[in-house]
Amino acid sequence: MRGARFETSSDVVRWLQSEAAGLWPALLGSLSFRRSPCVRENCPACKSGEQHPSYVLYGRQKGRRVAVYVPEELVPEVQRGLDNGRALQELLHQAAPRYVKALKRERTKARKSKKS
Ligand SMILES: [Zn+2]
């Protein structure tokens, strides 16, 4: 394996593609848990203060915040997507300096070979 110090920009792209391959679906947003009252009169859950648990996904569409109700049985799947999204974001952050460093090394090499 080539060390990160000597990798080329296409090595970085290949690394990024292979790392990202296992991260789908990748989602960004936040999943929140809340308890809210219902509209029924004399509801035991509401009376006891327990209320009704539900999950809501907050995301953005065209710059506007949107909230989508998430049924409890879909929570693990949505959570996995959000974990993937964070991992992918972390990966893209790591990729940026590595890619730029590789481009700079390639530029230096290209200049040297032009002179000789
Ligand atoms: Zn209720």
Q: Could you tell me which of 14, 20, 17 has the C-alpha nearest to residue 90?
A: 20
pTM, full prediction:
0.80
CA of 55 to the centre of ligand 1 (A): 16
Q: Residue 35 corresponds to which tokens in the numbers above?
A: 């308890």
CA of 84 to the centre of ligand 1 (A): 34
Does the pLDDT value for residue 2 go beyond 70?
no
As residues whose CB is below 5 A from the ion ligand 1, the structure lists 38, 43, 45-46
For residues 82 and 27, the answer to whether their CB atoms sit within 8 Å is yes
Query: What band does 38 get if pLDDT is binned at 50, 70 and 90?
Result: very high
Q: Strand locations in 1-116, DSSP E? A: 30-36, 52-61, 64-70
pLDDT at 4: 60
Question: Rounded mean pLDDT of 11-15?
Answer: 97
List pLDDT tens digits, range 59-103.
999 999 999 999 999 999 999 999 999 999 999 999 999 999 999
